[in-house]
């Protein structure tokens, strides 16, 4: 029986998960592909670390040695940062290999170029594992959204942030100890800065934007906030109101313009993300024919990410190369999503009288208000009140805990 030879670049949580899953699902892979899948090589960084890798596998710190293997069909990359991953994958493509990556930072920066080079060499690129861990969101957009015009995508895209917020609320853990646990569970990046600052979710959002709209917002115009400012006190206060903090990434298309944000949001009970807890991710797609669809599943960790990469292995071996991330979308003015007023909680208001168009619903505590306003009005309020903290509320605010929010006043 002929064999498919695979190299795994990186043997951290994800790389090891891919290695183990190729072994544990050998029979399934052979049945689907009609060929045995063999791991021919593993690229590592630290030679002194103890690993359980078969004797016949080339384990090396030198990528060139992998490229010189007599047969190499697929390169599966699970390293972090843009370089050297981008260079390795370009070389692998030039060698005629299909590539599969879990590296969202690299792919957000260089995905388009990789796809173009791959098309020139008639090989495929799998990047399901770059977004939302085990949720098959890339394939959903790729395969199932040909006729539908996507208008908006909203997601909980960072498992670590969602895990921390859940642990802080449910188990009253401190931010630091919840983060430590996320690291121990293999959810967080080696350097968790990108997780908690929202940068990881931002990269994933940009990849989704290219898939759905064929374009991205200007990166420096995307509102970007992580979860670091959410204290235990804020979480307890929100809970009293019947709200939960979620870190939500949103991208939408209005005419020709694509806009995005990545920030903590308060969600009400009816919102599809209210019950997305722990390391779960969720992605909500709003499109013109089908309406609103939500996919949810594990967003980080060894096996969810390995699952996405293994499904990609089948995809790249069975599919033709692609030249573009997504077909060009027909512009439709009816797609426009109007910017409208929403409900917010803001804290630290000392001057409120100057913005007359804001509807002040109630004062929750000294300087902390529930109000109805547009994002621009909140920005203006923040300019007048230095240090203002604001969180938008998604979902049905009429159902907020009436006693706490004094919502007797009609919204």
Q: With binding defined as CB under 6 A, does residue 300 bind ligand HSE?
A: yes
Distance linking the first and last C-alpha atoms of the chain: 69
**204 assigned to active site:** yes
Q: How many binding residues for ligand HSE (CB under 6 A)?
A: 11
CB of 137 to ligand HSE, least distance (A): 12
Backbone torsions φ then ψ of 271, nearest 5 degrees: -75, 140
Position 160 contacts ligand HSE (CB under 6 A): yes
Using an 8 Å Cβ cutoff, are 158 and 226 in contact? Answer: no
Q: Does 128 bind ligand HSE (CB under 6 A)?
A: no
Q: In this structure, what are the phi and psi dihedrals at residue 405, rounded to the nearest 5 degrees?
A: -95, -5
Q: Specify the stretch interacting with ligand HSE by CB under 6 A; choose among 3-11, 156-164, 165-173, 355-363.
A: 156-164
Classify residue 301 as left (phi > 0), alpha (psi -120 to 50) or beta.
Answer: left
| Residue 140: CB minimum distance to ligand HSE, A | 17
Least Cα distance to 126 among 169, 153, 93, 152 occurs for 93
Q: Which is nearer to ligand HSE, 4 or 153 (CB)?
A: 153
Give the DSSP letter string of 294-333: EEEEE-SSHHHHHHHHHHHHHHHHHS---SSSSPPPPP-G
Token reading at 189: 């990046």
Q: Which of 104, 204, 210, 253 is catalytic?
A: 204
Task: Name which of residues 186 to 245 contact ligand HSE (CB under 6 A).
Answer: 187-189, 195, 200
Q: What would the two tokens of residue 80 be?
A: 């972090």
Q: Does 17 bind ligand HSE (CB under 6 A)?
A: no
Among 103, 124, 158, 280, binds ligand HSE (CB under 6 A): 158
| Residue with smaller CB distance to ligand HSE, 73 or 195 | 195
Stretch that binds ligand HSE, among 112-120, 138-146, 153-161, 359-367 (CB under 6 A): 153-161
* 3-class secondary-structure state, position 387: coil
- Output the six-digit token pair for 91: 């070389």
Cβ proximity to ligand HSE, 76 vs 268, nearer residue: 76
- Residue 285 Cα distances to 1, 191, 255, 404, angstroms: 43, 30, 17, 33
Q: Give the interface with ligand HSE as residue ranges (CB under 6 A).
A: 133, 158-160, 187-189, 195, 200, 299-300
The catalytic residues are: 204
């Amino acid at each position: 029986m002929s064999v498919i030879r695979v190299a795994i670049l990186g043997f951290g949580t994800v790389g090891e998960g891919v290695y183990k899953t190729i072994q544990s699902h050998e029979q399934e892979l052979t049945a689907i592909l009609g060929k045995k899948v063999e791991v021919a090589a593993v690229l590592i960084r630290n030679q002194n670390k103890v690993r359980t890798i078969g004797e016949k596998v080339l384990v090396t710190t030198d990528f060139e040695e992998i490229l010189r293997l007599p047969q190499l069909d697929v390169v599966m990359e699970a390293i972090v940062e843009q370089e050297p991953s981008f260079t390795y994958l370009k070389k692998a493509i030039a060698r005629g290999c299909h590539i599969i990556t879990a590296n969202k930072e690299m792919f957000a920066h260089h995905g388009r170029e990789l796809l173009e080079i791959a098309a020139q060499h008639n090989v495929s690129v799998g990047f399901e594992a770059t977004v939302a861990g085990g949720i098959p969101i890339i394939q959903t957009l790729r395969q199932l959204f040909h006729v539908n015009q996507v208008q908006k995508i909203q997601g909980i895209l960072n498992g670590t942030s969602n895990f921390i917020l859940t642990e802080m609320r449910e188990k009253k853990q401190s931010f630091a100890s919840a983060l430590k646990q996320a690291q121990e569970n293999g959810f967080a990046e080696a350097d968790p800065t990108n997780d908690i600052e929202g940068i990881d979710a931002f990269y994933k959002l940009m990849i989704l934007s290219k898939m759905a709209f064929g374009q991205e917002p200007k990166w420096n115009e995307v509102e970007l906030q992580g979860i670091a400012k959410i204290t235990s006190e804020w979480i307890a206060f929100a809970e009293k109101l019947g709200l939960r903090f979620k870190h939500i990434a949103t991208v939408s298309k209005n005419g020709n313009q694509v806009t995005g944000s990545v920030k903590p949001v308060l969600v009400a009970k009816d919102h599809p993300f209210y019950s997305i807890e722990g390391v779960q991710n969720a992605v909500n797609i709003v499109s013109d024919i089908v309406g609103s669809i939500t996919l949810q599943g594990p967003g980080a960790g060894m096996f969810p990410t390995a699952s996405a990469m293994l499904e990609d292995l089948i995809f790249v071996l069975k599919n033709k190369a692609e030249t573009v991330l997504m077909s060009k979308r027909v512009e439709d003015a009816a797609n426009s999503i109007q910017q409208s007023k929403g409900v917010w909680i803001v804290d630290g208001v000392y001057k409120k009288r100057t913005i007359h168009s804001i509807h002040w619903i109630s004062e929750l505590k000294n300087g902390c208000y529930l109000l109805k306003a547009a994002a621009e009005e909140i920005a203006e309020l923040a300019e007048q009140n230095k240090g203002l903290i604001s969180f938008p509320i998604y979902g049905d605010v009429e159902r907020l805990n009436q006693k706490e929010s004094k919502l007797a006043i009609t919204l």
